[in-house]
Structure 1
Amino acid sequence: MDVRDDTPQAPAPSSADTDHASPGVYRRLRTITVIATFGGLLFGYDTGVISGALPFMARSPEEGGLGLSPLTEGIVASSLVLGAAFGALFGGRLSDRYGRKRTILGLAVLFFVGALGTALAPGLTVMVLFRTLLGLAVGGASATVPVFIAELAPAEHRGRLVTQNELMIVTGQMLAYTSNAIMANTVGEHGVWRWMLAIATVPAVLLWFGMLFVPESPRWLASRGRFDEAARVLGRIRDAHVADAEFAEIKSRVTADAHEQRASWRELRTPWVLRLVTFGFALAVLTQLTGVNSIMYFAPTILLDTGLGTQAALTATIANGVVAVLAVSTGMWLLGRFGRRPMLLTGQVGVTVSLVLIAFCFLVLPESTARSYLVLASMLTFLLFMQGCVATVFWLMLSEIFPLRLRGFAMGMAVFGTWTANFVVTLVFPPLISAIGGATFLIFAAVNAATIAFYLRTVPETKGRSMEALEAHFRRQYAA
């Protein structure tokens, strides 16, 4: 499978690609993006908070915990991830059928109910039930929000606006790590995990109310034949001289697709669609097999294994969140200057080297405080390349490459791969690190080295093209 774009340069962009939005229009787009990406903030918080909550949930009921064993800790942590896999799969289909806006509104309700349910859970069964429900919301948001923003954004701002979602994800994780450490020190340890989980209800409410004032995606409206509404929305988020040209391009693409059936599994019989979906699925799985969530979810556990105390490990984990936010902010800036392909390849090389360094610290250096902080430094280097290059390009590229009429469906399939791989890594990492220690990171490094070779053959360049131009390119180049 080779979906790499071998053309020497992108085709000449349309006027919609080259004319920059006026400050007023860009401010409206930024406001819409901030509101929608509260879904990303919830995604980040709900996946990050468990790292600090689990040590307190593992305590006996008399001490305010749930009496979790190592096995049930893994079940609680991975239940959200498993729910997210199916949330992505079905969330993408729902967004194609009912619209991006209505789907996100529904997800906000799920976020609220899931967060409240986990905070009040009296035992393991209820906790797993509501963590799974929360996972459905996380997965649905991960499949829907980037597509929604990409369809609203003009080509020249698409990279910055879509990666705002990744920035909100890592900001949510940083807030989770920070609030975990603060509450562990101030609220008291008896039942503190309930407060950690309950905080996520606040951004869920803000997401729901904010989305009431956000327009629907003009591309989705056009795909349903609602051209007048699509034109009105474009008029609100584009300058007048750009809106007409972009609307004509969208309408032309939708009209050309009018004779084709709605998105379904049958679409995979079309060779060029199968190539794109297969590439998207592979990109999603390989991004998780970097081992990023072994570090994001289990950072305190890793640091405890190096000899740090519980409170020191929780506090040191905040550095992971801070570096992730700084890295994504830097990645957003770099996307405006470099292509997606070189950034992704650079990130993969950096991630691979960092994993080798973590393994070296575990396997070669004697246990000491210095080794603990060298492991932390290597983890931070890993996150710098992962969040600054790999993750920013990953979410952006997935939102760009799929054709309009099956974008939600294909995005859902790809993100299903993300969460399925995430589930496997989350499930196997604790027993692996317990059994073979630092050699676990050498396994991840080997997988990442193979990923570099795969990306050299397959990754296309998507920078600077409208979504309609990308679709036309893939249709021509990858048709059987």
Structure 2
Amino acid sequence: MAAPSNPAQRISGVPHVAALINGLEKLPGKANLLWYLILGGLFLDAYSNAALSAGLSPMVKELGLSATQVGLLTATAPAIAILFNPIGGWLAARIGRVKPLLLAKAIAVAGALLTAYADTFATVWSGRALVGIAYGIDFAVAMAMLAEYTPTKLKGRLNLWQCVWYVATTGNLALTLVFFELGVGTDIWRWSVGSAAVFAGALLVLQLLFLVESPAWLASQGRLAEAAKCLHRIYGFNVEAGERAHEQAEQPSIGFRHTGVLFRKPYLPRTVLSTMISLTQSMQYFAIGWYLPVISLAIFGEQFEKATVGSMVFNAAGIIGGAVSAYVGRRMGLRLSSAVGYAMAFVLLLTLGLGFGSLPAVLAFAVPFLFIFFHSAGPGANGKSIAALSYRSDIRTLGTGITGMLGNFGSVIGLYIFPQIKESLGLGPTIALLSAVPLLGLVTCLIIKWDPTRSGIDPDEEDIDFQAPALAGR
């Protein structure tokens, strides 16, 4: 639905910008292109994180790494992302959405190249640290910007990031298989990581040329003339700057000192829900995802090609589930679809854990396949999406950054604690024990009723009828 050509509509603040965008039935061509260009950054994040895993064994042999060094390498990117999630959100709240996204791509290029040409552990670690910085910044900002670009009726499509994540992981596995067939030998990990630099460079150029700043963020800063221009460039609206709304006349600069607003009404339940979903979904994924190569080797054989194809088959469940999550999220709501996903994950983890080693071959394949499907169709996608949709534009990236940081602790817990439990109890009992994690997620979804796709109003439009506590000096 295009805006009328005459007369020009006048915008006076974020609520008016949000109302214009939310009135759309679908995204026009230019907006759709930009939407997927931002989503491409999340593809890169997943691809960069997966780039080292397929060639990890050859790298260990070539560089002579110890088990401790391998553990540090695998944990580095997600651990550093914990710190840079809120930093990315803070940057986007202060200087806009586009500049941090471009910065993240430049850092990703540097990190991939540094890793690909490394000949020591220290250099590889430094490269992976840069990848973690890029990932932390990009994810917090990209999800917020996608939310600000998207009309209310299409909010469920934010869940497509989960599908893109598995597509990227599968794509990296496929490309690694190609490199293997070309006979690159132990350098296969360098080719895998180096390909991430190519993707990052291409995306950097495309985003530099085409991205348009978020009109909602510009309006939140009182830059109404620029917001009007961006609305025209993205959606084709015929708008111009009006007089600023009184409540926005003294808009403070958002910083870490304003984090407390996320933990006060009306945002407290939203913050708790998105954080708990992010935390528990990442923990439960490690119960299966971390051991997919082991499961794949047991089912498909120990040859590199068969094991890689097997991992791709399991990732296909994530692609399907991630694609379905956009539809399910729209039909059921993000909270309810998370609850269903958690319930199925609980049953499947308990089944796999109690029957590990004795399940028939068909079930040994079907259970982890179904787990990945229900995980990606439900809570795997929803934690990030709920956070991006739950806050006003002026604090949205701060919210996605802080909740992303808290949620990413699940990855670190998975990388360090789960292997220790496995060492003590064995893989089967560990998986059965970890069924408590989706159960905790399920209980959270049943207790907290907030759902941004069912609230009936965009958080940016809440200011029309509701004045949140002042941010300055709180």
Place the TM-score, normalised by the shorter chain, in its bin.
0.7 to 0.9
Alpha carbons 1:107, 1:140 under 8 Å: kept: yes
User: Residue in 2 aligned with 1:418?
Assistant: 407
User: Residue in 1 aligned with 2:100?
Assistant: 103
User: Residue in 1 aligned with 2:69?
Assistant: 72
| CA–CA distance in structure 2, aligned partners of residues 347 and 304 of structure 1 | 26
Alpha carbons 1:221, 1:229 under 8 Å: kept: yes
Alpha carbons 1:166, 1:395 under 8 Å: kept: no
User: Residue in 2 aligned with 1:185?
Assistant: 181
Structure 1 residue 211: deviation in Å?
Answer: 1.2
Please state if 1:121 is matched with 2:118.
yes
| CA–CA distance in structure 2, aligned partners of residues 401 and 434 of structure 1 | 40
Matches within 5 A, 1:310-321: 310-311=303-304, 312-321=306-315
Cα distance change on mapping 1:230 and 1:199 into 2, 3 Å = same
Cα distance change on mapping 1:103 and 1:176 into 2, 3 Å = same
User: Secondary structure at 2:63's aligned position in 1?
Assistant: coil
User: Secondary structure at 1:72's aligned position in 2?
Assistant: helix
Please state if 1:390 is matched with 2:392.
no
| CA–CA distance in structure 1, aligned partners of residues 373 and 464 of structure 2 | 35
User: Residue in 1 aligned with 2:323?
Assistant: 329
Alpha carbons 2:276, 2:444 under 8 Å: kept: no
| CA–CA distance in structure 1, aligned partners of residues 446 and 28 of structure 2 | 35
| CA–CA distance in structure 2, aligned partners of residues 411 and 257 of structure 1 | 25
| CA–CA distance in structure 1, aligned partners of residues 64 and 463 of structure 2 | 52
Please state if 1:432 is matched with 2:421.
yes
| CA–CA distance in structure 2, aligned partners of residues 95 and 75 of structure 1 | 29
User: Residue in 2 aligned with 1:362?
Assistant: 356
Cα distance change on mapping 1:15 and 1:450 into 2, 3 Å = same
Q: Indicate which of 222, 227, 232 corresponds to 1:230.
A: 227
Structure 1 residue 301: deviation in Å?
Answer: 3.2
Amino acid at match of 1:422: S
Structure 1 residue 303: deviation in Å?
Answer: 3.6
Query: Please, what TM-score do these two structures have when normalized by structure 1?
Result: 0.85
Alpha carbons 1:296, 1:320 under 8 Å: kept: no
User: Secondary structure at 1:460's aligned position in 2?
Assistant: coil
- 1:424-461 deviations in Å (ceiling 9; x for gaps): 21223333334322111112201211221121011412
Alpha carbons 2:43, 2:165 under 8 Å: kept: yes
Structure 1 residue 157: deviation in Å?
Answer: 1.9
User: Residue in 2 aligned with 1:62?
Assistant: none
| CA–CA distance in structure 2, aligned partners of residues 97 and 416 of structure 1 | 18
Structure 1 residue 469: deviation in Å?
Answer: 3.5
Structure 1 residue 354: deviation in Å?
Answer: 1.7
| CA–CA distance in structure 1, aligned partners of residues 218 and 276 of structure 2 | 30
User: Residue in 2 aligned with 1:403?
Assistant: 392
Q: How large is the RMSD of aligned CA atoms in angstroms?
A: 2.8
| CA–CA distance in structure 1, aligned partners of residues 66 and 251 of structure 2 | 56
Cα distance change on mapping 1:208 and 1:255 into 2, 3 Å = farther
User: Residue in 2 aligned with 1:9?
Assistant: none
| CA–CA distance in structure 1, aligned partners of residues 55 and 164 of structure 2 | 21
Alpha carbons 1:50, 1:297 under 8 Å: kept: no
Structure 1 residue 198: deviation in Å?
Answer: 0.8
Please state if 1:41 is matched with 2:43.
yes
Matches within 5 A, 1:218-257: 218-238=215-235, 240=237, 255-256=247-248
Alpha carbons 2:281, 2:380 under 8 Å: kept: yes
* Percent sequence identity over aligned pairs: 20
User: Residue in 2 aligned with 1:20?
Assistant: 25
| CA–CA distance in structure 1, aligned partners of residues 409 and 400 of structure 2 | 14
Cα distance change on mapping 1:376 and 1:115 into 2, 3 Å = farther
User: Residue in 2 aligned with 1:153?
Assistant: 150
Structure 1 residue 296: deviation in Å?
Answer: 3.4
User: Secondary structure at 1:51's aligned position in 2?
Assistant: coil
User: Residue in 1 aligned with 2:442?
Assistant: 452
Alpha carbons 2:339, 2:441 under 8 Å: kept: no
| CA–CA distance in structure 2, aligned partners of residues 361 and 307 of structure 1 | 19
Matches within 5 A, 1:71-90: 71-90=68-87
Question: For structure 1, which segment, 100-109 or 406-415, has the greater mean C-alpha deviation from structure 2 after superposition?
Answer: 406-415
Amino acid at match of 2:46: G
| CA–CA distance in structure 1, aligned partners of residues 333 and 288 of structure 2 | 27
| CA–CA distance in structure 2, aligned partners of residues 238 and 299 of structure 1 | 43
Amino acid at match of 1:268: G
Cα distance change on mapping 1:454 and 1:279 into 2, 3 Å = closer
Alpha carbons 1:267, 1:274 under 8 Å: kept: no
| CA–CA distance in structure 2, aligned partners of residues 145 and 264 of structure 1 | 19
| CA–CA distance in structure 2, aligned partners of residues 335 and 395 of structure 1 | 13
User: Secondary structure at 1:38's aligned position in 2?
Assistant: helix
Count of residues paired in the alignment:
445
Amino acid at match of 2:441: T
| CA–CA distance in structure 1, aligned partners of residues 140 and 44 of structure 2 | 14
Cα distance change on mapping 1:88 and 1:236 into 2, 3 Å = same
User: Residue in 2 aligned with 1:341?
Assistant: 335
Cα distance change on mapping 1:251 and 1:449 into 2, 3 Å = farther
Please state if 1:56 is matched with 2:74.
no
User: Residue in 2 aligned with 1:264?
Assistant: 256
Please state if 1:217 is matched with 2:214.
yes
Structure 1 residue 74: deviation in Å?
Answer: 1.2
Alpha carbons 2:93, 2:254 under 8 Å: kept: no
Alpha carbons 2:82, 2:404 under 8 Å: kept: yes
Question: For structure 1, which segment, 200-209 or 303-312, has the greater mean C-alpha deviation from structure 2 after superposition?
Answer: 303-312
Cα distance change on mapping 1:159 and 1:378 into 2, 3 Å = same
| CA–CA distance in structure 2, aligned partners of residues 132 and 275 of structure 1 | 33
Unaligned 5+ segments in structure 2 are: 1-17, 470-474
Unaligned 5+ segments in structure 1 are: 1-12, 60-64
| CA–CA distance in structure 2, aligned partners of residues 81 and 238 of structure 1 | 36
